[in-house]
């Protein structure tokens, strides 16, 4: 902040900082609220964030806008987690690592997916996951090139299978059909087998 | 119809027959309409069925009611198809037969699933599939008991995997990511591998 900064500029900057803090507080409150109750009201989210409903609606015009922003931030978290993973070794190990870590992110943000499924629809959810799908796609293609993953099915289909089953596990945990503690292992076992080339032995995990 | 049947009873019976015909015509028109355009309007469905909108709303109060009735009838078709299948032999062959036949039913009723996903939500769709899931579950359990399908994962999870991937294939065909003609084979290959016991060889299909 230079000596020439006017009071007006400082005020603007302070307002922008306030707005950013409000948005973060709203997204935090929405993430917690959706996990507790996928039908949590906007009023409850605003109250938990310590902002008024008018402030909340100033940032997010509709519930769908808010859910999409929460989903986008969740996917940002997933990228941060992926950035910290070493996926360069054996593709089966890398897949297990990727699935286990992704499941943890999904589990921490469970209600977000359920709300997104209702508010945004399947195709919009897929669009928001585009960069994630690309990252998973790179691993699948490498595994196919190394002969460790099957290549009798297109990589794009195998990526869809991975994304779909992870989201299904989240729905099953939400519905009480699956224990959250079991889901990571079930996913790894199912996906490792699904990607094994025909004529090869399914790795034991 | 006995000699004692009154004219009033005959008229009632004729009205009921008319109502049944109207309902069938509406469900046929809705099935065709949804396949063409998952967002097809109630007015278009009524016109195609040759009934007035008031008649249609007399049978189905909301679009969701109509979509649920179409889905229930589709599942009735699936049961009829399953009844005609011999699933008593090798579990892998039986799974391939079941998946291939089910895919044909799903493919013929594609828009129905998409509309149901939006109008009814994931859990209601699952409820409507309950008897189908039970039938698939019997095959999975037999395969597990015979050591042909993996038993390191619960049968209920494997049934979820089967249902989910079949519906995902339908979404991918709707979205233009997957050719309808490829989907049956992709599903059989993916599911046969997913159910192979760890330490065993994935059957080539």
Q: What residue ranges do the domains of chain B occupy?
A: 7-61, 62-198
- Is A39 part of the contact surface with chain B (CB cutoff 8 Å)? no
* Average confidence score pLDDT of chain B: 93
Query: Is residue A153 within 8 angstroms of chain B, CB to CB?
Result: yes
CB pairs under 8 A between A and B: 97
Give pLDDT, residue B74. Answer: 93
| Residue/partner pairs of A146-152 with CB below 8 Å, 24 or more apart | A146/A91, A147/A197, A148/A90, A148/A91, A148/A92, A148/A197, A149/A91, A149/A95, A149/A195, A149/A196, A149/A197, A150/A195, A150/A196, A150/A197, A150/A198, A150/B189, A150/B193, A150/B202, A151/A197, A152/A197, A152/A198, A152/B189
Q: Which residue of B has its CA nearest to A194?
A: B194
Specify the CATH architecture of the domain B62-198. Orthogonal Bundle (1.10)
Q: Does domain A70-198 have CATH number 3.10.150.10?
A: no
Using pLDDT thresholds of 50, 70 and 90, give the confidence band for residue A39: confident
pLDDT mean over B163-186: 94
Our CA-based measurement puts residue A177 at a distance from the nearest CA of chain B, in whole angstroms, of 9
* % pLDDT > 70, chain A: 98
Q: Does domain B7-61 have CATH number 1.10.150?
A: no
Note whether B7-61 and B62-198 share their fold: no
Residue B6 pLDDT: 75
Chain B, nearest residue to A115 by Cα: B121
Chain A contacts of B64, Cβ < 8 Å?
A: none
pLDDT of residue A24 exceeding 90, the answer is yes
pLDDT at B4: 56
- Mutual angle of helices B110-119 and B91-108, in 10-degree steps: 80
């Amino acid at each position: 902040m230079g000596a020439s900064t006017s009071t007006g500029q400082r005020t603007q900057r302070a307002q922008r900082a306030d707005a950013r803090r409000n948005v973060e507080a709203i997204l935090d409150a929405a993430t917690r609220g959706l996990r507790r109750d996928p039908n949590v009201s906007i009023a409850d989210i605003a109250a938990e964030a310590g902002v008024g409903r008018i402030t909340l609606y100033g940032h997010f015009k509709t519930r769908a806008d808010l859910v999409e922003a929460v989903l986008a931030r969740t996917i940002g978290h997933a990228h941060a987690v992926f950035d910290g993973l070493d996926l360069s070794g054996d593709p089966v190990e890398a897949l297990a690592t990727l699935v286990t870590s992704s499941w943890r992110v999904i589990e921490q943000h469970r209600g977000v997916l359920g709300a997104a499924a209702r508010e945004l629809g399947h195709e919009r959810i897929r669009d928001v996951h585009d960069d994630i799908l690309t990252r998973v796609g790179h691993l699948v293609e490498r595994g196919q090139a190394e002969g460790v993953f099957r290549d009798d099915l297109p990589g794009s289909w195998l990526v869809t299978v991975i994304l779909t089953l992870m989201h299904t596990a989240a729905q099953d945990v939400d519905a009480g059909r699956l224990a959250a503690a079991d889901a990571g292992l079930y996913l790894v076992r199912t996906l490792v087998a699904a990607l094994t080339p025909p004529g090869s032995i399914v790795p034991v995990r």
